[in-house]
């Protein structure tokens, strides 16, 4: 007599192993790892240079705009993979749909470029 949950057993085992490893590895690292603290190791640094200014310093909106634009174009680029996999099955209709999609991306890129959103020194 087989349980209806039997097909999920391998997934449950994988999740259990992942959970145990997630707890075991940091625990073993803290127990067995080297402990040689020093003033230099405890000092704060950012990308190899000394920290200056307050921690709550304001950033220009330009950094956030660039990050959002990167995410938008990166997520849209993800749509290219399924299209490429099914390229033959989609035929000419799929080809022209991707041309319209890519043209929309290019128009958006030209727009933000002309608006100066990609210029760092503005």
CATH of residue 93's domain is 1.20.58.1610
pLDDT band at 20 (very low <50, low <70, confident <90, very high): very high
In a domain, 18, yes or no: no
d(C-alpha 113, C-alpha 122), whole Å: 13
In a domain, 76, yes or no: yes
Contact 66, 118 (CB under 8 A): yes
Domain that holds residue 84: 62-121
In a domain, 35, yes or no: no
DSSP state of 100: H
Number of domains in the chain: 1
Contact 79, 101 (CB under 8 A): yes
DSSP state of 47: T
In a domain, 50, yes or no: no
* pLDDT, tens only, 61-101: 777 888 888 888 888 888 888 888 988 999 999 999 999 98
Contact 113, 107 (CB under 8 A): no
In a domain, 77, yes or no: yes
In a domain, 54, yes or no: no
The mean pLDDT of 16-36, rounded to a whole number, is: 93
Total-model pTM? 0.47
């Amino acid at each position: 007599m087989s349980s209806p949950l039997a097909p999920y057993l391998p997934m449950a085992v994988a999740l259990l192993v992942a959970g145990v490893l997630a707890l075991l590895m940091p625990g073993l690292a803290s127990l067995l790892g080297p402990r040689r603290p020093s003033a230099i190791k405890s000092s704060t640094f950012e990308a190899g240079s000394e920290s200056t200014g307050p921690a709550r310093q304001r950033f220009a909106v330009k950094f956030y705009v660039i990050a959002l634009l990167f995410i938008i174009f990166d997520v849209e680029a993800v749509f290219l993979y399924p299209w490429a996999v099914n390229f033959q099955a989609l035929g000419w209709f799929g080809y022209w749909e991707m041309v319209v999609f890519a043209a929309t991306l290019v128009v958006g890129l030209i727009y933000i470029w002309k608006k100066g959103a990609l210029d760092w020194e503005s």
